[in-house]
Structure 1
Amino acid sequence: MPSPKGKLKAKYSDDEGTRDGPSWTEAEEEEERAGLLDQHRKRTPKPASLIAPSIEAESWTERIRRLGTQTYSGKSRTIPFNPPGAFFFNLYFLAVAVSQFVPALRIGLLMTYVAPLAFVLVITIGKEAHDDYLRRQRDSIANSTRYQILDWSSSNHSANPLSNSHHASTVSQIQGETIPSTTLLPIKTIPSAQIRVGDILLLDKNMRVPADLVLLRTSDQASGSCFIRTDQLDGETDWKLKLALEFTQNLADGDAGLLALDGLSSIDDDHRLASNVNNGQGKKNDHTTRLEVYADKPIMDIHTFNGTLLIHSRQSVGAGVGGGGRSAEEEPAENRHPNLGDDLDPVRDSIDDIEINSIHEILPHHSASSPTSTETSKVPITSENVLWANTVLAAGQAVGLVIYTGTETRAVMNTSYPKTKTSLLDIEINQLAKILCIVTFTLSVALVALNGFRGPWWIYVVRFLILFSSIIPISLRVNLDMGKTVYAHQIENDPEIPGTIVRTSTLPEELGRIEYLLSDKTGTLTQNEMELKKLHMGTMAYGLDSMDEVALQLATAFGENAPDPLGHPAGSGLPTASLLATRGRRDMSSRVKDVILGLGLCHNVTPVINDDGSVTYQASSPDEVAIVAYTESVGLKVRSAGDLPVHVGVEADGDHHPGEADGEVTFYQKGADAVMAKIVQSNDWLEEECDNMSREGLRTLVMAKKKLSNEAYHRFTRRYLSARVDMGADDRQEAIQRVVSEELENNLELLGVTGVEDKLQEDVKSTLELLRNAGLKIWMLTGDKIETATCIAISSKLVSRGQYIHQVSKLEGPEKVQKELEFLQQKQDCCLVIDGGSLASCLSYFESEFIEVTTKLPVVVACRCSPTQKAEIAMLIRRYTQKRVCCIGDGGNDVSMIQAADVGVGIVGKEGKQASLAADFSINQFSFLTKLLLWHGRNSYKRSAKLAQFVIHRGLIISVIQAVFSSVLYFAPVAIYQGWLMMVPFPPLCTYFSPAYGYATCYTMAPVFSLVLDQDVNEDVALLYPELYKELTKGGVIMILSLILFENEFLNIVSISFTSLILTELLMA
């Protein structure tokens, strides 16, 4: 009888059904899940983008497997460059150059018109090619980074040769009746570009995660946790806690050889891992476990992952070869894995509408000759069990199973390519070029008409068009691009605004045209450095000056001999309760204990022990760190994260943590007052105290609890676990939220309210005043409530002294919206404060009218705004006003707003770099905006405008001289400047040919570059009189009339004209 074989397999589905590698047992093994897969095939469309091949299907999946995890960020795969917009911009000059190949149209030397075009294209393409080369170099480095994987495809296995399939390799191949005690699993090192779905990767500290992985095992044996840095994925600088699957983390030492981490830091290509495959000497293993990982189709959301780990436990019934066995039903409960306990009973065998990307199986050997009994359990795989690509393992070591690679990873799917932004100056110049083109054609036809339409007059028209082509100078775009480079260099090297980065070098001139500034509040106007200032519990309030009293109350409540509510040993070193004398103080101490304990539990803060023994806190929000720091200061210190039996995380509503003590379960919840007010018991002080704290500029959070009986807790646990593995639900998170709302989030006991202060950034008041004097209309868009936002607006001087503040909240219906708009039309000097719901109503009923009215107001404060609303406001202002809009923010929720603006400015803040990386300009603090706009923006715009006028004037004068010369020669289309004079593109060639050669470029090179460095006023004057910025917003610097009337450029025209006449006389002599 042939020996049965256990295999690591990859299973996938396509339109033709489900394919898999060689069977790991007999036919009945496939029948075991036939119903599941058949049901899946009937209901779910099968994606064709599934990777993970097996032997039988290797050719079918070869194309997909070649994708791997290779990174490519270049702009073209076929040529090393792809200059954007070059064809459209140079179409006119290309037509002129091509015309010179026609003998009847040729004027002078062919190179006279070909060389300038070639020069411009070489400069443009060369720049793009250089940038693309640098991108390819970075890609090459990323793709060649080497990683260690378990080598399932090794064919020279020392003890038991493995299969030659990369994803269908055997864990053990039993030859004859001799059963070796271990199976050696080799490890090999490969470049990241060769990583495929189904590979098991070994990661060490500070290694970049090359693909999306399911976390199987970590070096933290107790908790199975590890920390990752996600700043390159979501921009957040805090560390994220990830947990390995409990089943694979808790494998016995013998079975865990597959995923062993021992010696990981010093593994080389020859290192091999050992895995036990038997339960005793001379006996075959009579218990087998097959694991299947189900993953849904790739999506963009990095906070959501729906997957399931199927655990098929097979136990031999009766005696088999080498020993007897018991069925799964006969196995003692204490010997079963904790994941297979009674809590999972209600959710066994229920899987619906899943999208199978890959199913990976680890199958130890079992005896095929013995009757068997199989038990299947399901364990949910959530986002906390997954490591996304481009994150970095911050601490510890980890082993993971690759589930998505290449374009299916969350990192690639979330890589957005924002719309290319074009400055208003470029748009105006393009419009002007169209007018000049019409002028050129009109002038050409007029000269031919004056001579009469005789002979091949159409050829004469074309020749005149070529002669007057200098009216639209080909060097204009090159000169402007060189100027932009100089402006970007000046901005980045300004010592007064250190750390400023120009990420979009085509927009410096836009900084001088801003009329609307849309700003975030937290982290932008404020420092995002939080400190808990007040703790209110209805009848008692504590501030920073009464921390000793809180510590005393907390010490009294716990008592020296009181049991720890989390089940830790008594005696935490806190003071005893000997100072209490009355029952009333004991009651107050109990209330303080509940609040502080809830604050100490309801958070996502992770304490990290540094090399020097100090402890730092990592969290997704500074609010959380401030609260934990407060609890530590009064005597309750966070020891570690993840010690609670169940952690229910529903971020939209706050933090949930149950703590079990004295035979019952206490559920603690912390959240925003707007949410908590709906689920706490009736009270008469919550709304009032939240409003009072908001008026003081404090951010409020509400603390509540609920006691659950053991029966209620177990009922919730069963429903919660069932919802977590319910892959049939359209939204697993929605199913979980429904369970939490029905079982926990109702009739909570209100404990207290915290007030956290966020300090203003440095020089915010003076910055806002200068910008307002410069003519900018400022909007503050925030997610905070009206009271807090109003307080910050007043304290930051965003609202002027004595200015009327008009608040609009809970506005519904078109009649009320129309009434408010009519009031605002009569009150144009007030500050509007509006909440998110009212804003949505206004935009829904009277979109254009609302924007028309509010854009005339000096200040608008929008509260409770979602990221989508922020971006929508920016786009609507641009659409209806046709004015330049600048958006500034520091968090991930500001990215959409920043990308929707004409100019996006990101601040490197406490919440990460996501806004900074997505912005056109990155600064370190809000006050840098003053110099960025009033000095660098103003100079960049005025310089580029003068530069454009100078170059266009130069072409006009040359064309006028040509027209006069042709008129003298009876309107003959003959060039006045012969040979190389108009061709030489850069100064070195000027000295080679002749000082007179290349006049249009060489002689006027110095004036062009002098304009790039021109300053009409010094920096101190520009910042002292911000009103100078207003003239630029009128857009009159580059208007067509300024070219026709010459008012400010008369001196340039005179100098060019007389110099041209002198040179003409010299050449004609």
Structure 2
Amino acid sequence: MISERDSETTFDEDSQPNDEVMPYSDDETEDELDSRQPTVEPGQNQINRETKERRETLKKDCSWQVKANDPRFYEQPQFKRTAFLCFEKSKYAGNEIKTYKYNPITFLPLNLFEQFKRAANFYFLVLLILQSIPQITTLSWYTTLVPLLLVLGITAVKDLVDDITRHRMDNEVNNRMCEVIRDGRFKNTKWKDIKVGDIIRLKKNTFVPADILLLSSSEPNSLCYVETAELDGETNLKFKMALEVTHRYLQEESAMADFNGLIECEEPNNRLDKFAGTLFWRNTSYSLDADKILLRGCKIRNTDFCHGMVVFAGADTKIMKNSGKTRFKRTKIDSLMNYMVYTIFVVLILLSAGLAIGHTYWEQQIGNSSWYLYDAQDFSPPYRGFLNFWGYIIVLNTMVPISLYVSVEVIRLGQSYFINWDLQMYYPEKDTAAKARTTTLNEQLGQIHYIFSDKTGTLTQNIMTFKKCCINGQRYGDCRDGAGQLQNHPEQVDFSWNTYADGKFSFYDHYLIEQIKSGKEPEIQKFFFLLAICHTVMVDSSDGQLNYQAASPDEGALVTAARNFGYAFLSRTQNTITISEMGIERTYDVLAILDFNSDRKRMSVIVRESGGNIKLYCKGADTVIYERLHPRNLKKEATEEALDIFASETLRTLCLCYRDISHDEFEEWNKKLVEASVATTNRDEALDKVYEEIEKNLILLGATAIEDKLQDGVPETISRLSKADIKIWVLTGDKKETAENIGFSCELLTDETTICYGEDIRQVKSAKVSTSLSSALLQTRLENQRNRAGSSTHSSLRMNEPFFQGSRDRALIITGSWLNEILLEKKKKKKKLKLKFPRTAEEEKKQSEKRRGAEAYKEQQQKNFVDLACECRAVICCRVTPKQKAMVVELVKKYKKAITLAIGDGANDVNMIKTAHIGVGISGQEGMQAVMSSDYSFGQFRYLQRLLLVHGRWSYIRMCKFLRYFFYKNFAFTLVHIWYSFFNGFSAQTAYEDWFITLYNVLYSSLPVLLVGLLDQDVSDKLSLRFPRLYVLGQKDLLFNYKKFFLSLLHGAVTSLIIFFIPYGAYLKTMGQDGEAPSDYQSFAVTAASSLIFIVNFQATFVCFQIGLDTSYWTFVNAFSVFGSIALYFGITFDFHSAGIHVLFPSGFQFTGTAPNALRQLYLWLTMILSIAICLLPVVAQRFLSMTIWPSESDRIQKNRKKYVAEQEWKRRQSAFRRGVSGRRSAYAFSHQRGYADLIASGRSIRKKRAPLDAVLGSSVTQGTDAHQT
């Protein structure tokens, strides 16, 4: 069988092996094991000349060749590559891994090189070099060196610690021991000494050292149980199975030593679930796939030992290929912040140029004629101006903040920890906490416009329960009495007659059980037999119980249902399957398994019965099954009606069918299957094509209906997110009716919602008619747009007029086929190769114009679709593939420029999660692939509201406040130098002491603004959830944009004016208390610096300073940071101005005694108070007026927060009191109006308003009004 059984092809003796192979196992006699010579089985096909030619072609395409136990094989010239200059290196990596980046010699130069690749660090390095030029600099070298060394040192220490850890881990892994064939025997060898082609033995609970081909194991049929937690985070065991031939002949040590098989396979890649190759051994080829490969990082479980052949080693293994760099996501604020830094740099250059021109003019007018300014250097005024340009670049360098990016990363790291520590996002049932898997996207959580959600396992629990079925047109599963009425309290079916029954399974239709027991309905027997045989489930019965391991919860539910109804799947080998049919065990030969994938949407199995009859059994989605049915299926309409009824009850459906296959037809088809299965290029496409040939003229048996309940809190979460103006799209592979009714259940759709359809669901299943009509309507709009674009300016303004008039609550429901039709994504039919003469230049031009026109048409069609969908409050896309999910997200990103979030729980959601700006994974029933690919993860969908409305919103507000005030404090600090320039001849002199300039951003003003970015809250978490409209601020970018940036710049400029000119005016022609003038430069510098520190740090009551004024959520840490920063400033200033430190370092500390002398003057303190008051009073007044006259929504909520808390407390007390009242009346609280029970029981859809999208589009294009169909 294919994918469970070997695909074998026999070669002539003189042919050389050329491809890869892996063996499977089956029970054999001792004589056969002793012979160790693979015999040609009846199913094998002799290779003819045509096959030889094909192999020669494949040899050219497949360059990765591995030969067992033959080290000299890899010394051939074709396996060498040039590594450096003329030095050659084998293309096969050794098994020693190196995840570290540095060694003791390369650490310092390499780390510095990496850090200086960052623009900000390189900029300050250039400044440091400029400061070493005496003609340019007026600042001491340490003003730039100390902050730069601090930033570089912190980063270097972090990198060093990380790299030391990597060194230790690498040594521990590389020195692990493993048994490897050496000189004909198994010997203990270090992992780092393992090479490609080695045969190794692994024991229970050991890790797999490389990617290996499983040859045999201690388990029957050479099964091997592995745990893949290191690869994908999944802790449940997986099955791997060796090829039958290697299981049969490679059990003994001597056989392993003599094994000389050759593998040809794909080049090393990072696809964990894919592998394509062929094993050639003793003139026979065997197809290899991922089920026969053990990957590095897996752990052997429940298997005493196994043997394998190394295919990929070290850096070539799949786990190492996946450890490379992932796609880096940037936030909107990141991009804006970078542009603002560029803007600051441009402003810096312009200011420096303007001041340099001023100095040139001053030199010409005053400097040259002032003898006392002569410096013995005969430089011309223009040259002096040029030097001063660079001098001002140095003096004003603090406008470009060196610590900005470091501070942002610290804030994001802290916000990520808050998400991880949030107990209200902890899911106790699975012991799963919320986890921020990235630290770079937190504030973007507060700006989401669109959420794209999977349904199964995301909105629902993904715990599947078999509820109903339709067999031969008859529905089963409804709990009805003898009169045909639904029973309110039905009695559960007793399965005690079935020894294999699962005690957890429940069913209520006694009539179906009676039919099964009577054996009078062969179709019912075939139905459950199909469920028991058509699957890829593995069974473990080691503890005496049947424990099924299924690839998906759906498949597990169906096999469990068949087991309870008397058809129990017991065991399987590579080419057989054993089933208990009403207590009678029968074994069937499995000739082929045609596995499921997201494009096929079905799976089939071909089996040979004991009488020799060959049958194909198939199950899949109704859309693909109905296309392949025989025209004479009599129960097609009845089954279709049952499918619609099941879907209206939000049940998941599958169709079951079968067909008889003649022996000749199978033999002819099997030849094609064998060829496709050993193809080394495009194997999957070749197999799909072969599968299509046999899956036709099917006979419909019936359909299954599986229940998947909603998760707790989903309706409330969707309601809150909708109120936050977030549009939610559900992308699912389910039927339209199922998805629609789930939409009603989770309140994505309501009674007031007008639903528009891409296809009218009441039409016959030839969806071609409706999709073509919808395409034509969008085409009409496209043509109207083209006509208007060329007619007049007034008409061109209406090119993107809305599809819908008015502001009704609308939802759009479309299918994957309609999506392909509208977006022109249908697969093109392959055309036969035709010989054509070379085109002329004119023909080439026409062809090129035609392609450009088609591309423009396609792009406009896509934009029209996005415009249409985004006008709806909700969108449901049904029957979509993983590729289509990602495509829809990409289209919205492209044409709406909106921030998107994708959330899912399975491997089919990974593309969507990676495509969106934010990817969220749910730890569900389908493994950890979605979580491993996500940016954030948690256990239930309901936690999404807290992630966005609380953490996302807080992170956005905090980051915006931090950036505004970070820029503000830097402008206020730096621009003082400019005003001082007007009084020093534009000579690039500084207005502060050098050490103050050095420590301002590092110590004096960094902590308070940093804590605002970490701890600030405008409203509490409970109020954030209660009032979702607060979220809109982030969506509209209201808190940080270019307007806010320039306001911060202007605010900083005004503050710097006040800081400079008030002391300047106060000190002009004044006398201090001691009779000395306090207006010396050093006292002025201390006064300006002290005023600045107070202004950017301090708050007292409501007479606030900047940081405190916009800190809405005060803690002890905030207060300590403000007062501590001020105290730290004065402490360091007094120390640096002391006589003792001047004696030790006379050139570095020249403000000796300035602070003690200046700060004794009451006049100076009054000047500082005046500066602070003038700076802050207008800001206080503006805040007071905005909160009282023009309050924002958060201001109003903050004002009434005590009232809301009291209301919440009152409700809590009321609910506690009511719990003591008699429970007889409590049931009346369930509903105040009639529900959907009758509709569900009647089988009708629970939609209220229905309008075909075609009608709506047609009306909007021609008349500009809506058309609704009820």
* 1:356-406 deviation digits (Å, cap 9, x = unpaired): xxxxxxxxxxxxxxxxxxxx4444334433333333333323211122334
Q: Are 1:818 and 2:789 matched, yes or no?
A: no
Distance 1:294 1:899, change over 3 A: closer
1:658 Cα deviation from its structure 2 partner: 1.9
Residue 715 of structure 1 is matched in structure 2 by 667
Residue 672 of structure 1 is matched in structure 2 by 621
CA contact (8 A) 1:389 1:409 kept: yes
Distance 1:407 1:964, change over 3 A: same
Q: 1:411-560 residue pairs with structure 2 within 5 A?
A: 411-413=319-321, 417-453=325-361, 454=363, 455=381, 456-498=384-426, 499-543=433-477, 545=479
Distance 1:516 1:692, change over 3 A: same
Residue 928 of structure 1 is matched in structure 2 by 943
Distance 1:83 1:493, change over 3 A: farther
Distance 2:920 2:613 in 1: 52
* 1:146-188 deviation digits (Å, cap 9, x = unpaired): 221111xx3xxxxxxxxxxxxxxxxxxxxxxxxxxxxxx4211
Q: 1:334-345 residue pairs with structure 2 within 5 A?
A: none
Distance 2:399 2:208 in 1: 56
Residue 593 of structure 2 is matched in structure 1 by 648
1:540 Cα deviation from its structure 2 partner: 2.6
Q: 1:28-107 residue pairs with structure 2 within 5 A?
A: 44-45=59-60, 50=65, 54-55=71-72, 58=75, 63-64=89-90, 67-74=93-100, 79=107, 81=111, 83=114, 86-107=117-138
The worse-fitting range, judged by mean Cα deviation, of 127-136 and 632-641 is: 127-136
Q: Secondary structure at the match of 2:540?
A: strand
Question: What is the alpha-carbon root mean square deviation over aligned residues?
Answer: 4.0
Residue 367 of structure 1 is matched in structure 2 by none
1:228 pairs, out of 212, 218, 226, with 226
Distance 1:583 1:42 in 2: 57
1:1004 Cα deviation from its structure 2 partner: 4.9
Distance 1:144 1:804, change over 3 A: farther
Residue 293 of structure 2 is matched in structure 1 by 386
Paired AA for residue 510 in structure 1: Q
Q: Secondary structure at the match of 1:760?
A: coil
Structure 1 or 2: larger helix share? 2
Distance 1:1010 1:679, change over 3 A: closer
Paired AA for residue 641 in structure 1: R
Residue 532 of structure 2 is matched in structure 1 by 600
**Structure 1-normalised TM-score?**
0.75
Q: 1:257-296 residue pairs with structure 2 within 5 A?
A: 257-258=253-254, 291-295=261-265
Name the % identity. 28
Distance 1:800 1:1055 in 2: 59
Paired AA for residue 842 in structure 1: I
Distance 2:878 2:357 in 1: 66
Distance 1:582 1:935 in 2: 55
Distance 1:377 1:449, change over 3 A: closer
Paired AA for residue 258 in structure 1: S
Q: Secondary structure at the match of 2:461?
A: strand
Paired AA for residue 688 in structure 1: E
1:1018 pairs, out of 1002, 1010, 1020, with 1020
1:483 Cα deviation from its structure 2 partner: 1.0
Distance 1:75 1:812, change over 3 A: farther
Q: 1:6-25 residue pairs with structure 2 within 5 A?
A: none
Q: Secondary structure at the match of 2:570?
A: coil
Distance 2:351 2:1157 in 1: 25
CA contact (8 A) 2:63 2:264 kept: no
2:702 pairs, out of 752, 758, 764, with 752
CA contact (8 A) 2:519 2:525 kept: no
* 1:330-377 deviation digits (Å, cap 9, x = unpaired): xxxxxxxxxxxxxxxxxxxxxxxxxxxxxxxxxxxxxxxxxxxxxx44
CA contact (8 A) 2:63 2:267 kept: no
* 1:192-238 deviation digits (Å, cap 9, x = unpaired): 232212111112233333333222112124x2322334455466665
* 1:459-509 deviation digits (Å, cap 9, x = unpaired): 122222222222222222222121111111111111111211111111111
Q: Secondary structure at the match of 1:1030?
A: helix
Unaligned runs of 5+ in 2: 1-15, 20-46, 81-88, 364-380, 427-432, 482-489, 501-510, 578-588, 760-766, 783-800, 825-857, 1063-1085, 1092-1153, 1159-1270
Q: How many residues align?
A: 882
Paired AA for residue 776 in structure 2: E
Residue 198 of structure 1 is matched in structure 2 by 197
Distance 1:696 1:39 in 2: 53
Q: Secondary structure at the match of 1:189?
A: strand
* 1:263-317 deviation digits (Å, cap 9, x = unpaired): xxxxxxxxxx9x9xxxxxxxxxxxxx975544455566555544444453xxxxx
1:856 Cα deviation from its structure 2 partner: 3.1
1:704 Cα deviation from its structure 2 partner: 1.8
Paired AA for residue 1017 in structure 2: Q
Distance 1:34 1:768, change over 3 A: closer
Paired AA for residue 602 in structure 1: C
Q: Are 1:951 and 2:966 matched, yes or no?
A: yes
1:399 pairs, out of 296, 307, 313, with 307
Distance 2:985 2:254 in 1: 94
Q: 1:544-943 residue pairs with structure 2 within 5 A?
A: 545=479, 586=518, 588-609=520-541, 614-642=545-573, 643-644=576-577, 645-646=589-590, 647-651=592-596, 652=600, 653-658=602-607, 660-681=609-630, 682=633, 683-708=636-661, 711-712=663-664, 715=667, 718-719=670-671, 722-723=674-675, 726-727=678-679, 730-743=681-694, 745-809=695-759, 810=767, 811-812=771-772, 814-818=775-779, 824-826=803-805, 829-844=809-824, 845=858, 846-943=861-958
* 1:513-563 deviation digits (Å, cap 9, x = unpaired): 1111111111111111111110111443222759999989998xx9x9xxx
Distance 1:737 1:666 in 2: 19
Paired AA for residue 698 in structure 2: L
Q: Secondary structure at the match of 2:423?
A: coil
Distance 1:188 1:699, change over 3 A: same
1:806 Cα deviation from its structure 2 partner: 0.9
The worse-fitting range, judged by mean Cα deviation, of 625-634 and 406-415 is: 406-415
Distance 2:434 2:1053 in 1: 37
Q: Secondary structure at the match of 2:90?
A: helix
Distance 1:462 1:84, change over 3 A: closer
**Structure 2-normalised TM-score?**
0.64
CA contact (8 A) 1:554 1:592 kept: no
CA contact (8 A) 1:519 1:888 kept: yes
Q: Secondary structure at the match of 1:228?
A: strand
* 1:871-902 deviation digits (Å, cap 9, x = unpaired): 22222222222221111111112112111221
Distance 1:1046 1:291 in 2: 72
CA contact (8 A) 1:700 1:755 kept: yes
Distance 1:835 1:823, change over 3 A: farther
Distance 1:582 1:527 in 2: 32
Distance 1:417 1:607 in 2: 38
